[in-house]
Amino acid sequence: MTSTLFILQIGLAIVITILVLLQKSSSIGLGAYSGSNESLFGAKGPMGFLAKVTFILGFAFIVNTLTLAYLYTKESNRSVADDLTTQTNTTIPASMPQTPLAPTAPAAPLAK
């Protein structure tokens, strides 16, 4: 299921990119090549139609993204930290030798 939605996500991204590039902008963009097809989309030209299709596909892209996020988090409800184990290889001996924690002061010299 997730692989199908992932392929759909890639296809939606490509189609939205193409539709955005086909729309006219201040520098015309790739919309300059759609001059002969204006009668196909109505009196206003393709801009109203392309804007509606872009909006619908953008909405489908967002819904697909949220669905993929939900499915991936549902599949992997474990964290990487769950797999970590703490190992201690140190052993405490039964009887520790009594060593002073602080160094002792040297003895005073003997008087002659």
Top pLDDT among 97 and 50 is at 50
Place of tokens 């003997």: 110
Top pLDDT among 31 and 19 is at 19
10 Å Cβ neighbour count for 45? 17
Question: pLDDT digit string (tens) for 29-80?
Answer: 555 555 544 445 555 555 678 888 999 999 999 999 999 999 888 877 766 7
Q: Is the alpha carbon torsion for 28, 61, 44, 40 positive or negative? A: positive
pTM given for the model = 0.53
- The per-residue pLDDT of the chain, averaged, comes to 76
pLDDT tops 80 at residue 27: no
